Amino acid sequence: MGPNRTYLSGNEIRSDVRGTEFQKRKERITTVYCCNSTGNHKLPMNYIGKSKNPRCMADFLLLRSRYHAQSSGWMDTERFIPWLQWWYSEVQKLSDGPWLLILDNCGSHIGLPELPGVTYFMLPANTTALYQPLDQGIIANTKTSYRAALLRKTIEILEQRGVADNGYRSTSGNGRYGLREGQLPHVADGMLLMDAAWENVSKKTIVNCWLKSKCLPTEHVSYLKGLITPNGSGLQEHDGQVADNELSDLPS
C-alpha cells in the first residue's frame, strides 16, 4: 500500500540508498468501484482482503460492513452476489430505475440473479481496457490521489512523532496499530485514504472517462458533452487531491 520507489536528492548515489521497510510491505486489498455516467452517484467503495478479521477493524467499526475476506484477496461469485444485492438496495434509494449495470467479462459475473428493473451488460472478452469507463482514467485518478495522500500523511506522522530515519517503531499490537500510532499503514488506513481519494474524483473526470469509453448511445453522449461545456449545467470540480481535513479519521 506504500510507495514502490526511493527518491534521491542531488548528492545521493543510487547504489548507496536502500529501500525502507515501508516500501517492502506487500499487503494488498481489492477495491470495488461503481458510479454512474454523470458522476452524481458514486457508491461507497467496497474492499476485499485476505484476513477474515483484521485486528485494525476493531477501531473502525463503520468500515467493517464494507470489508470482505477472500483467501486470495480477489473478487469471486461468493462475494459478488452480496455486493450486487447491496448495490441494488443502494440504487433504489437514488432513482426509480430502470438501471443498466456494465460489468467486466469475468468468472464472478456469471449466473447473476435477475433483479427487477436491472439489465446486465457484459463487456466482450479482452475489451475492458477499451470500453470499461472505470479503466479510462477513473481508477488511475483515484489511485494517484490515494498514493499522494498516503505519502503526505506518512511524512506528517513521522515528523510529528520524531520517528527514526529508518522508518517506524518496532511493530506491536498484533496488527492493530497503524499510521496514527506511527506504524506501517494497515488495512483500515488504506480504506480510509481510498475513501477520501474516491470522494475527490471530480464529476468532470468521470464524465470524460465515460465519453472516452465509447460505450454509450449517441443521445447520452450528447447529453454528457453538454454537461462539460462552458454553457452546460456545470459540474462540481475538485483538484484531484485529498484535502487534509478529509484525513481527520487518521489523527496524528
Question: Could you tell me if residue 191 is inside a domain?
Answer: yes
Tens digit of pLDDT for each residue in 187-208? 898 999 999 999 999 999 999 9
Contact 213, 129 (CB under 8 A): no
Q: In Å, what is the CA distance from 245 to each residue of 23, 24, 196?
A: 26, 29, 10
Tens digit of pLDDT for each residue in 91-107? 999 999 899 999 988 88
Mean pLDDT of the chain: 80
Tell me what the mean pLDDT of segment 133-148 comes to. Answer: 94
Q: In Å, what is the CA distance from 126 to each residue of 101, 104, 132?
A: 18, 9, 11
Residue type, 216: L
pLDDT at 58: 81
Angle at 97 between CA 197 and CA 225, to 5 degrees: 55
* pLDDT value at 159 more than 80: no
In this structure, what DSSP letter does residue 229 have? S
* pLDDT value at 144 more than 90: yes
Could you list the residue range(s) of the whole structural domain that residue 201 is in?
A: 21-247
Question: Could you tell me if residue 5 is inside a domain?
Answer: no
Interatomic CA distance for residues 121 and 20, integer angstroms: 44
Tens digit of pLDDT for each residue in 19-61? 555 555 567 889 999 999 999 999 999 999 998 888 888 878 7
* pLDDT value at 169 more than 70: no
Contact 2, 24 (CB under 8 A): no
Residue 74 is placed in which grid cell? 480477489
* pLDDT value at 170 more than 90: no
Question: Could you tell me if residue 6 is inside a domain?
Answer: no
Question: Could you tell me if residue 15 is inside a domain?
Answer: no
Burial of 115 (0-12, 13-18, 19+ CB in 10 A): middle
For the ranges 13-17, 73-77, 88-92, 124-128, the lowest mean pLDDT is seen at: 13-17
pLDDT at 248: 35
Question: Could you tell me if residue 154 is inside a domain?
Answer: yes
Interatomic CA distance for residues 224 and 233, integer angstroms: 10
* pLDDT value at 80 more than 90: yes
Q: In Å, what is the CA distance from 153 to each residue of 51, 188, 200?
A: 24, 14, 16
* pLDDT value at 125 more than 70: yes
Of the chain, the percentage scoring pLDDT greater than 70 comes to 74
Number of domains in the chain: 1
Residue type, 79: R
pLDDT at 162: 61
**Residue for grid cell 481535513:** 245
Question: Could you tell me if residue 207 is inside a domain?
Answer: yes
pLDDT at 153: 85
* pLDDT value at 171 more than 50: no
Tens digit of pLDDT for each residue in 213-247? 988 889 999 999 988 876 545 554 444 343 333 33
Question: Could you tell me if residue 13 is inside a domain?
Answer: no
Of the chain, the percentage scoring pLDDT greater than 90 comes to 44
Question: Could you tell me if residue 4 is inside a domain?
Answer: no
